[in-house]
């Protein structure tokens, strides 16, 4: 199945594509020798040539006017640095533009042909336990690209078949309120120190409390709690503002604004994930929001807006899962199961609605999350039950179980005793 092509999020139709590759050869020629020596210098950069068009008002291209499509595509082409290309058959990749041509004939008011040449950018990576999280990012981009076409088409067709803007605004306002409430979630606010170095207590450690807590910190060395409070406040306000923008975008659900609703939903959930210092909170909040959907119980426009929200939330969930550090093999399996069941339901809904690209992208998201969590959780121990004759201090138990007293804080987080000096006589903790 072909993916909808886009560069830096700007869609265009593709009629023909070429992929150029090979080896880098240094040809050495010597006096008196008939045959040269071809020295293999490694793989040559991969180049991609795409030929296609942009068409005025095509719902598969977001329903935008051709003048705006041309201008947006030119802006994306001329932007400095590498960008994400969604190739129709090869998927998502980081590339730079090597050459571009946009031609116009007598039908320039409705149609333009484009020819783009890209060269791959950056080092090639392979799916190991340290980089499989990259699969989540690629899958999330593919889902957003598919939703930008198929979900926009769903909104427009629902509008043409009698769905009203009032219904769209009401549904969007309900979802906006849910996301705004999640942005000020008390637990997530309490865990703003989850990515700071140091021990701030078991209730603030979040998903970084496991044996292999290895989430990268977005803060510079020496950042204190006082420094991150205004950052956290700004992030939460940004989420609330993005939720309000989503409602504004829904006020004009017509051919020219369908794609703006999708983009506003993506921005809303990206802001929510950014506002959560603990990736476990981001996953918890997103699953809670997605669990409030009641498809088929309202009007057609409400269901269409719900699909916008659910698919954007699924892309954000895929991104958030890449930052989650499992605390054990059991924890990784639990996360795979709870996230997988939600994505499976969305996948079936998309397939039933003949949204094949979204269904395939959701399947890719599910596979990426399972692969990533399975690989990273596979290096951890299983949970087991420990039993002792009396309540003992956490330091004593850590030395007794692991021969490492520094793991006492980990035991406290997992057993959750009233006080570290009086651990439960029976509790679950990592086996090793």
Enumerate the domain spans of the chain.
Answer: 6-120, 133-377, 383-430
Spatial separation of the C-alpha atoms in residues 408 and 395, rounded to whole Å: 5
pLDDT in tens, 316-339: 999 988 888 887 888 888 899 999
pLDDT lower than 70: segments of the chain: 1, 62, 122-133, 190, 194-222, 253-257, 294-298
Closest C-alpha to 14, from 60, 50, 65: 50
Closest C-alpha to 85, from 4, 27, 174: 4
Spatial separation of the C-alpha atoms in residues 254 and 266, rounded to whole Å: 18
Domain 6-120 -> CATH class: mainly beta
Give the strands of the sheet with 10-11, arranged side by side. Answer: 10-11, 6-7, 83-87, 91-103, 111-120, 47-55, 13-20
Asked if 60 and 4 count as a contact pair (C-beta separation under 8 A), the reply is yes
DSSP assignment string, 356-374: HHHHHHHHHHHHHHHHHHH
Spatial separation of the C-alpha atoms in residues 23 and 358, rounded to whole Å: 36
Spatial separation of the C-alpha atoms in residues 33 and 265, rounded to whole Å: 67
Terminal Cα distance for the chain, rounded: 46
Asked if 89 and 144 count as a contact pair (C-beta separation under 8 A), the reply is no
Asked if 214 and 279 count as a contact pair (C-beta separation under 8 A), the reply is no
Spatial separation of the C-alpha atoms in residues 294 and 262, rounded to whole Å: 19
pLDDT in tens, 293-314: 766 556 888 888 888 899 999 9
Q: What confidence score (pLDDT) does residue 270 get?
A: 92
Spatial separation of the C-alpha atoms in residues 401 and 63, rounded to whole Å: 63
């Amino acid at each position: 199945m072909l993916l909808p092509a886009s560069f830096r999020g700007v869609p265009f139709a593709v009629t023909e594509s070429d992929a150029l590759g090979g080896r880098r050869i240094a040809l050495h020629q010597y006096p008196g020798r008939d045959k040269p020596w071809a020295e293999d210098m490694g793989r040559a950069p991969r180049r991609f040539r795409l030929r296609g068009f942009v068409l005025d008002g095509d719902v598969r291209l977001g329903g935008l006017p051709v003048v705006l499509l041309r201008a947006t595509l030119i802006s994306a082409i001329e932007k400095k640095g590498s960008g994400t290309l969604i190739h129709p058959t090869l998927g998502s990749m980081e590339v730079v533009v090597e050459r571009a041509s946009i031609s116009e004939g007598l039908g320039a008011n409705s149609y333009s042909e484009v020819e783009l040449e890209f060269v791959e950018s950056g080092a090639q990576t392979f799916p190991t336990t340290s980089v499989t999280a990259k699969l989540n990012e690629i899958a999330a981009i593919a889902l957003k690209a598919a939703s930008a076409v198929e979900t926009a088409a769903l909104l427009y067709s629902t509008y043409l078949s009698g769905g009203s803007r009032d219904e769209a605004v009401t549904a969007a306002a309900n979802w906006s309120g849910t996301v705004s409430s999640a942005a000020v979630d008390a637990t997530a606010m309490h865990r703003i120190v989850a990515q700071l170095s140091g021990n701030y207590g078991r209730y603030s450690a979040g998903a970084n409390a496991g044996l292999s807590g290895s989430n990268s910190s977005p803060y510079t060395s020496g950042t204190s709690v006082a420094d991150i409070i205004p950052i956290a406040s700004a992030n939460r306000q940004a989420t609330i503002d993005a939720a309000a923008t989503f409602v504004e975008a829904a006020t004009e659900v017509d051919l020219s604004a369908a794609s703006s609703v999708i983009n506003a939903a993506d921005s809303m959930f990206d802001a929510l994930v950014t506002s959560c210092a603990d990736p476990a909170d981001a996953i918890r909040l997103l699953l809670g929001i997605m669990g409030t959907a009641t498809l088929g119980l309202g009007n057609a426009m409400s269901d269409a807006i719900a699909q916008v929200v659910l698919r954007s939330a699924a892309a954000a969930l895929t991104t958030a899962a890449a930052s989650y550090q499992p605390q054990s093999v059991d924890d990784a399996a639990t996360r795979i199961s709870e996230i997988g069941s939600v994505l499976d339901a969305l996948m079936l809904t998309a397939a039933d609605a003949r949204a094949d690209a979204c269904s395939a992208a959701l399947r890719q998201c599910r596979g990426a999350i399972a692969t990533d969590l399975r690989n990273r959780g596979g290096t951890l121990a299983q949970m087991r039950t420990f039993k002792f004759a009396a309540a003992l201090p956490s330091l004593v138990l850590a030395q007794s179980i692991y021969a490492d007293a520094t793991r006492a804080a980990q035991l406290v987080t997992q057993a959750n005793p009233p006080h570290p000096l009086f651990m439960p006589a029976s509790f679950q903790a990592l086996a090793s």
